[in-house]
Amino acid sequence: MPRLVPPQDAMTILLKGDPVTVEKAKALNLIHAIVPAADLIKAAKDWIKGGGKAVAPWDEKGFKLPGGPVFSKAGMMMFPAGNAIYRRETYDNYPAARAIMSCVYEGLQLPIDAALRVESRYFTSVLRSKEAAAMIRSLFLSMQELNKGARRPKDVPATKVKKIAVIGAGFMGASVGYVSARAGLDVVLIDRDQESADKGKAHAQKVIEEQIKKGRAKPADAEALLARITPTADYAALKDVDLVIEAVFEDRKVKAETFAKAQQYLKPDVIFASNTSTLPITSLAESFKDQGKFIGIHFFSPVEKMMLVEIILGKNTGDVALATALDYVRQIGKTPIVVNDSRGFFANRCVGRYVAEGNEMFLEGVPPAMIENCAKMAGMPVGPLSLSDEVALDLGLKIMKATEADLGPNAINPEQKKLMVEMVEKQGRLGRKNSKGFYDYPEKGKGQKSLWPGLSALQPKQLDPDTLDIEELKQRFLVVQAVEAARTVEDHVITDPREADVGSILGFGFAPFTGGTLSYIDFMGTKKFVELCHKLEAKYGSRFTPPKLLEEMAAKGETFYGRFAPKKAAA
């Protein structure tokens, strides 16, 4: 490619792996002619008659590289800059991207045959790397199996959800309504009054209009989609739906009142789902008359972009409810994982540890910029302080207070609570939603967010960055999440390692090159991982204590994929 196309363009195509249209390929000189399918043979004959040669352009005498030699002025402008971009985008975590850079750099200094030999050796080396094994298994094989219904009960006939109701037309409910309507389902959006329900539909309109602006949808699509959404304040509209998704405020009392209002209108076989992110499904189901038809369907925000949906089984959830939930998630083009009930389920338990670890480092005196950068170097998409802002600091504090009320003061870290009370209640910093949290946010379109200068005053002490072990900081972020994932297996929340791995990458961006939280442990080796846990536990406390299951697996040299071999997909 870099023998046909200027090196900058070649590198972009090779490293991004995005599809290229025929027209663009022609403009770049990657292909030399575009011919209608019916005229192929004639065009080929004409090319031969017109003096076409069987010699590749780079074998022609006097051939010059489109970007000049590597060691030329143009080459020196390209490779150092390319290196910097590569580091910024991958933090050297992805061997394939590094190999591509090396192939081009070395290959352009060699004749084509030697260059292709170099390339095949890099390819073989990447193919045998643990990163390739981990990513192929989780992001290709496991993801396909889960999308095809690996966890669907075999003896339940296929269901097709045609009409759903979403109760609660706030940001979350409106987004669930939008993705359902986009998939061709009829949607009833219910809220306490008509105005609130209309706002939910307006959200769908705004999203589809943005898609039209970007050329990803046509005005006719918008019209059809909006026609499928009916906003109302009347619960009687529930009478002919196949599935109800409740997305009201995260409060037991409010949810129980919603269930009571809805039940009188439901037809006998309708499945009822709660989109809760933390409240255990079994306890929510107690205020629902047929617990076998009650299930959790937990969407991630922003719903339009996030591919994962967590399906939560309560103690009494039946197979039909599970099958219907899985069929619905498949209809809307998302990837489902099935988890058993617990506070925070799987994703929030793990990502909660990540956010808390960022807070721990902050209280230890690690510079905030270093916390954020080390997290990204470890492979996370955003730093923990930035993630706290996105989720909203006041919501984090509310969850902390609810956990303390339900489970007692030992369930939370009092220092972290104190920090959150200071940020939220005393400083009025709620996160991105009020433009100030750990970061200050500029007005729309006016520059980038920046860490709030007042943060250092909230740190009990400040450590000298030059004395800190960057590798250890990176490990802490990944280990604290992986050890929590191992606990979810011990607690029977996760029963299939594929779901922990796919769920952790799609749900909260756990370093994709590791293959996910459990693959991270498996590829490191359980024995080595447990040793690392004990080292961190001695230094930083019980959040790194490996569960008994992990100790036992380490002693026997077992892996998660060996001990909990995934069940074969349903035919």
Q: Determine contact, residues 166/177, Cβ cutoff 8 Å.
A: yes
What residue type is 377 in one-letter code? Answer: M
Given CA atoms 330, 331, 334, 339 in this order, what sign does their dihedral have? negative
Closest CA to 7 of 55, 56, 98, 70: 70
Decide: residue 78, CB within 10 A, 0-12 exposed, 13-18 middle, 19+ buried: buried
Third-level CATH fold of 163-343: Rossmann fold (3.40.50)
Do the domains spanning 163-343 and 348-492+496-563 agree at the CATH topology level? no
- Extents of the domains making up the chain: 7-128, 163-343, 348-492+496-563
420-436 pLDDT, tens per residue? 999 999 999 999 989 99
Question: What would the two tokens of residue 103 be?
Answer: 């192939």
Q: Determine contact, residues 246/260, Cβ cutoff 8 Å.
A: no
- pLDDT under 70 in the chain at which residues? 567-571
Strand pairing report for 439-440 and 450-451: antiparallel
Q: What's the rounded Cα separation, in Å, for the pair 378 and 10?
A: 28
Cβ neighbours for 565, distance < 8 A, ≥ 6 positions apart: none
Cβ neighbours for 376, distance < 8 A, ≥ 6 positions apart: 91, 382, 383
Q: Determine contact, residues 277/249, Cβ cutoff 8 Å.
A: no
Q: What is the pLDDT of residue 571?
A: 40
What residue type is 566 in one-letter code? Answer: P
Q: Determine contact, residues 86/15, Cβ cutoff 8 Å.
A: yes
Q: What is the pLDDT of residue 451?
A: 97
Strand segments, DSSP code E, in 285-353 are: 294-299, 308-313, 335-340
545: Cα separation from own chain's centroid? 26
- The number of helix segments (H) and strand segments (E) in the chain equals 25, 10
DSSP code at position 216: S
Q: What's the rounded Cα separation, in Å, for the pair 62 and 303?
A: 55
DSSP string, 484-552: HHHHHHHTTS---HHHHHHHHHHHH---GGGTSHHHHHHHH-HHHHHHHHHHHHHHH-GGGPPPHHHHH
* Count of beta carbons in the 10 Å neighbourhood of residue 274: 25
Query: Is residue 149 within a helix (H) or strand (E), and if so which, with residue range?
Result: none
Q: What's the rounded Cα separation, in Å, for the pair 503 and 303?
A: 15
Q: Determine contact, residues 138/515, Cβ cutoff 8 Å.
A: yes
For residue 209, what are the CA distances in angstroms to 74, 169, 319? 42, 19, 39
Q: What's the rounded Cα separation, in Å, for the pair 484 and 482?
A: 5
Architecture of the 7-128 domain: Alpha-Beta Complex (3.90)
206-245 pLDDT, tens per residue? 999 999 999 889 999 999 999 999 999 999 999 999 999 9
Q: Determine contact, residues 571/150, Cβ cutoff 8 Å.
A: no
The angle subtended at Cα 307 by Cα 305 and Cα 310, nearest 5°, is 125
Q: What is the pLDDT of residue 570?
A: 47
Question: Which CATH number does 348-492+496-563 carry?
Answer: 1.10.1040.50
Q: What is the pLDDT of residue 568?
A: 61
Q: What is the pLDDT of residue 567?
A: 67
Q: pTM for the whole thing?
A: 0.91
Taking phi over 0 as left and psi of -120 to 50 as alpha, with beta for the rest, 492 belongs to left
Q: What's the rounded Cα separation, in Å, for the pair 272 and 295?
A: 6
What residue type is 26 in one-letter code? Answer: K
Q: Determine contact, residues 338/326, Cβ cutoff 8 Å.
A: yes
Q: What is the pLDDT of residue 69?
A: 92
* Residues known to be catalytic: 298
Tell whether omega for the bond before 302 is within 30 degrees of 0, i.e. cis.
Answer: yes
